[in-house]
Amino acid sequence: MLLQRARAVLVVIDLQVRLFPAITDGSFVLDRCCMLIDGANRFGVPVMVTEENPVGLGHSLPAIAERVPKAGVHTKMAFDAAAEPEFLRQFNALGRPQAVLCGTEAHVCVLQTAFGLRACGVDVFVVADAVGSRRVRDRDAALMRLGRDGIRIVTAEMAIFEWTETATDPAFRDMLKLVK
């Protein structure tokens, strides 16, 4: 199954100021998440951002906040964003059956949100190079478990080019610049 821009929602999970410094390869993860947001914005793919307990972990990193309208940011206390009624209501209101997940931490909030959305009938794609954890072994274990249990694992470039579809798309050159 390929990602389709008319069917997808990008969900950026918990890239927050107090958690981010502890994430292994955090700057790479952030770069990939920003690339996905920029691609989503170019293609009209809705972007939802979550913030886990922002009183304790702070708000989204500036690089995320400047790319997404405040209305797209959802506060949560549950690790699984789909367990938050308002998040799930707004996700479902978009009427799109695919969720593309990126952010932190891969083995906690990303993993639980992936399984939560899948339980709601959503086709879930986790972007392997755009998720992170404090420890590499936790991220790797999460990706292995997600893939084994039926969640689709993709890369940021896979998502961008699946949304682009053809080299004749007017956005093709923009996407080439974005991924380089």
Sequence-ordered list of residues with C-beta below 8 angstroms from that of 177, at least 6 positions apart, any chain: none
Q: What is the pTM of this model?
A: 0.96
In this structure, is residue 103 part of a structural domain?
yes
Write down the pLDDT at residue 69: 83
In this structure, is residue 42 part of a structural domain?
yes
For 172, the domain range is 8-179
More confident residue, 54 or 174: 54
In this structure, is residue 3 part of a structural domain?
no
**80-131: pLDDT as tens digits:** 999 999 999 999 999 999 999 999 999 999 999 999 999 999 999 999 999 9
Write down the pLDDT at residue 169: 87
**21-48: pLDDT as tens digits:** 999 999 999 999 999 999 999 999 999 9
Handedness of CA 96, 102, 104, 106 (dihedral sign): positive
Residues with catalytic roles: 14, 76, 109
Does residue 178 carry a pLDDT above 80? Answer: no
In this structure, is residue 2 part of a structural domain?
no
More confident residue, 119 or 167: 119
Write down the pLDDT at residue 174: 82
**10-22: pLDDT as tens digits:** 999 999 999 999 9
Q: How far apart are the first and last CA of the chain?
A: 25
In this structure, is residue 101 part of a structural domain?
yes
Write down the pLDDT at residue 144: 98
Q: How far is CA 50 from the centre of its chain?
A: 9
Domain count, the chain: 1
In this structure, is residue 30 part of a structural domain?
yes
* Domain harbouring 89, CATH code: 3.40.50.850
In this structure, is residue 167 part of a structural domain?
yes
Sequence-ordered list of residues with C-beta below 8 angstroms from that of 92, at least 6 positions apart, any chain: 120
In this structure, is residue 1 part of a structural domain?
no
